A and B are shown apart, each in its own frame.
Chain A
Amino acid sequence: MTRTSRSFRFAATAAVAALGLLVTACGGSGGSTGAASDGKPVTIEYWTWTLGAKSTVDAFNRTHKDIKVKFTEIPSGTEGYSKLSNAVQAGNAPDVATIEYQMVPEFASQGNLIDLTKYAGETVKTKFPKPVQSLVTFGGRTWTVPYDVAPQLLYYRTDLFKKYGIAVPKTWDEFRTAAEKVRKQDKNVRLASFPKNDPALLAALAWQAGGKWFGTQGDAWKTGVNDTATKKVAAYWDGLVKDGLVQTFTGYSPEETKARAQGSTLAFLGASWSAGGMKTALPDLKGKWAAAPMPNWGTPAVGNYGGTSYGVLKGSEHAQAAAEFITWLTTDKAGVEARLADLASPSSALPANADMRKVAAARFDTSYFNGQDLYALASQQADTIVPGWTWGPDQMDVYTAIQDTTAKSGFTAGVEAGEHKAESGIESRGLKLAE
């Protein structure tokens, strides 16, 4: 008995000692990155999923001696943001990451972002339009630097629209009529597919209709995920789904792409950035696509579907260098040109900064769209983005609630669940909710 227990004690002591070594080893590696301020180049980590990222980083590293950027591709959407917030929690986050506008309040209020006012506040204030500034400025502080605006656009097959004898719908009423007309001619073909798993698309359409999911009132949050405008949009799409006028493929899935490639979906609801990936996703349909303004509710207006900005994550020891890289990415001609230099899938994002917009427009290869000036269309649409939209501090959770309930019982029920989650999420974190 004594024998076993003593050797157990020995083993346990050895184990604890080894564990201690392990812990110190882990702790030791963290501090080694700080010693780079004496002339040697600083290396910053950059995680993103945006198109043209590799060519951008290569161009930056070619032209900068004092800062080297190491680029890692991460998934977009929930998975990507989970990865980022976990990395912050674990203390091994990258210095720079792409944060969509919809995630800025959430990331900032979770304490995942470094306040960039000191490094880039001036840049944001002087180089970006007011409505875009308001998407990255909260509590009087600048959290991220904007890159693009993402006015929604309708992409459609010119050849098939002709074949089915439909004109490009200008309003949502016309859209419905066109959808009916297509279905009547071929039961296997639909005008469009409306995913039940992409609440960001629903948000953009609610934005267009004048909805306001979040807002601030003093130091309190206001919520309106189920406001009148949003309910109108939800009911519209519930109707189209119920009447079988649109498909409901999972968004960004192989079956959705397959239906577009086969011509059984004639159009899709996208944004300025959607064009970039089409060359690789649908190479055989070159010259058969065109873009048009998103149908509206009677007056020209559009929502922002996505849109990216760049932030410095908590734990970064090179905030200054990181901010310099971000400034180059978003407001330097070379940065924007490099983003469009990627041959396979160049970015088609519409820069928020006016000068950069010209740079990007001049660089974008329009051959896929039969020479259509996509940037001119997107610019003109960007001017009609409805002002006053604010994203929430628990946006991802709200999205998940909408998605779960929509899958079961439709969009109208989905936005109700979203509103419920918006309120409970704000309160459970101790944030203030306006009465």
Chain B
Amino acid sequence: MAAPLARTAGPPDARRGPAGPGGATQLRRSQRRAAALLITPFFVLFGAVMVAPIGYALWMSLFQERSSGLGFGGTRRVFAGLANYTAALSDPGFRASFAHIALYCALYIPVMIGGSLALALLVDSALARAKRFFQLALFLPHAIPGLIASIIWIYLYTPGLSPVLDWISAAGGSWDFYANDHVLLSMVNLSAWQWTGYNMVIFYAALQAVPREVIEAAVVDGAGALRTALRIKIPMIASAIVMTVLFTCVGAIQLFTEPKLLNQRGAPSIDTEWSPTLFIWKAGFVQHDYGLAAAASLLLAALGVALSFVVTWIGNRWKAAV
């Protein structure tokens, strides 16, 4: 793909120059048209599913629905300026939802990324047998849709239904997956189960690209398996790690299914505005406050963008350092 593009780009002066052969200009024009035609679908979709909704949300976020008296005389839309934004930012529930996600990330990212990295290194190591099998087996949980996975785990967490809890109590122990101190762990467990295998596959693929000569050189120099992994392999797949951390962070601030289901199953500390997306869902669909929901969504999107920049920046510095 890169080679033909580079060729057609050509030196700019040759294109503009009057001495340029007419045939070449013709060719370029038709290619130009073809390229435009090929990228049009992207812009159509991008405009329809990204730009237009964001623009609409931006518009909606500037208005509020107001009624008067008992409210049965109809509603009217009034321009509210930034009132929805200040309402969202000053809402303790909205602010707390970000704290919840931060805490979740602090637990989840080390567990999940660390776990998948360790698994990828194990599978990659010369010791591992049946690499294919492990790759597939570990990836399998990700093939189950997230919603279904959540429902299954919640079944396993629910007293009265869960065989796991029955075994625990039969062994004389007791555990409450929904208790305030445990519910975050239950949620991390659920997400880690879904995503560890997926990220392991990414890391494993990145490890395949590490030149074997480098590893052989390390071995010749006397580095053991652990040292090779820590000093050679991990630094060499730094880009993959940064990318997965970025995706995980962006995914985490959009956490919805797991807390929503845990809330419905009655986990006491997971309330209806536990995560930012739940807050937005509630503002829009329970409180019918579309302006607030739009403003909160845009704030969340802005945070997502900012987070992406920060993670990429830190990642680049780390990559440069190692």
Question: Which residues from chain A sit less than 8 Å from chain B, CB to CB?
Answer: 1, 3, 6-8, 10-12, 14-16, 18-19, 22, 78, 82, 85-86, 89, 105, 108-111, 138-139, 141, 196-197, 216, 219-221, 248-250, 253-255, 258-259, 393-394, 396-397, 400, 403-404, 407-408, 425, 428-432
Are B287 and A255 interface neighbours, CB within 8 A? no
A residues within 8 A CB of B36?
7-8, 10-11, 14
Which A residues lie within 8 Å of B43 (CB)?
Answer: 11-12, 14-15
Residues of A within 8 A of B286 (CB): 78, 82, 396-397, 400
Q: A7-B35, A19-B48, A396-B286 are in contact. Are A138 and B272 (CB under 8 A)?
A: no
Q: Is the CB of A253 within 8 A of B35?
A: no
Could you tell me the distance between the alpha carbons of A216 and B70 in the complex, rounded to whole angstroms?
Answer: 8
Q: How far is the CA of A359 from the CA of B160 in the complex (A)?
A: 41
When A and B form their complex, which 7 residue pairs have the shortest distance between CB atoms, in order from nearest? A139-B72, A109-B71, A15-B43, A219-B69, A82-B285, A255-B160, A430-B66
- Is B32 part of the binding interface, using a Cβ–Cβ cutoff of 8 Å? yes
A238 to chain B, nearest CB (A): 14
Cβ of A28 to closest chain B Cβ, rounded Å: 16
CB <8 Å contact, B28 and A431: no
**Minimal beta-carbon separation of B312 from chain A (angstroms):** 25
Given A14-B40, A258-B161, A430 contacting B285 (CB threshold 8 A)? no
- B73 sits at the interface (CB 8 A): yes
Q: Does B74 contact A (CB under 8 A)?
A: yes
B265 near A: Cβ within 8 Å? yes
Which residues does chain B contribute within 8 Å of A430, judged by CB atoms? 66-68
Inter-chain contacts of B75 with A (CB < 8 A)? 109-111
Query: 18 A-B residue contacts at CB 8 Å?
Result: A1-B12, A11-B36, A11-B39, A15-B43, A78-B286, A109-B72, A111-B74, A138-B72, A219-B70, A255-B161, A394-B287, A400-B282, A403-B272, A404-B272, A407-B266, A407-B269, A408-B268, A432-B69
Inter-chain contacts of B67 with A (CB < 8 A): 109, 429-431
Q: CB-defined interface of B12-43 with A at 8 Å, one 1/0 digit per residue?
A: 10010000000000001000110111011001
Chain A's closest residue to B180 (CB) is: A408
Of the residues B37, B68, B159, B267, contact of A255 by C-beta under 8 Å? B159
- A342 CA / B211 CA spacing, docked (Å): 69
User: Are A425 and B287 in contact, with the CB atoms below 8 A?
Assistant: yes
**Binary per-residue interface labels of chain B (30-64) against chain A in the complex, 1 for a CB within 8 Å, 0 otherwise:** 00110111011001101110001000000000000
B166 within 8 A of A: no
Q: How far is A430 from B269 in the complex, measured between Cα atoms in Å?
A: 31
Does B174 lie at the interface of the complex (its beta carbon under 8 Å from any beta carbon of A)? Answer: no
Residues of B within 8 A of A221 (CB): 70
Q: Are B290 and A89 in contact (CB under 8 A)?
A: yes
> Which residues of B are found within 8 Å of A138, using beta-carbon distances?
70, 72
> Which one, B72, B265, B269, B285, contacts A86 given CB within 8 A?
B285
Chain A nearest CB: distance from B56 CB in Å? 12
The distance from the CB of B11 to the nearest CB of chain A, in whole angstroms, is: 12
Find chain A residues with CB under 8 A from B32 CB: 3, 6-7
Find out whether the CB atom of A19 lies under 8 angstroms from the CB atom of B52. Answer: yes
Q: Is the CB of A85 within 8 A of B288?
A: yes
Chain A residue with minimal CB distance to B71?
A109
Task: Decide: B266 and A250 in contact? CB cutoff 8 A.
Answer: yes
Tell me, rounded to whole Å, the shortest Cβ–Cβ distance linking B203 to chain A: 36
> Contact partner of A15 among B12, B44, B70, B273, CB < 8 A?
B44
- A residues within 8 A CB of B28? 3
Q: Note all chain A residues with C-beta closer than 8 A to B37.
A: 14
Q: Assuming A15-B44, A18-B44, A397-B286, is B71 touching A255 (CB within 8 A)?
A: no
User: In the complex, A109→B269 CA distance in Å?
Assistant: 32
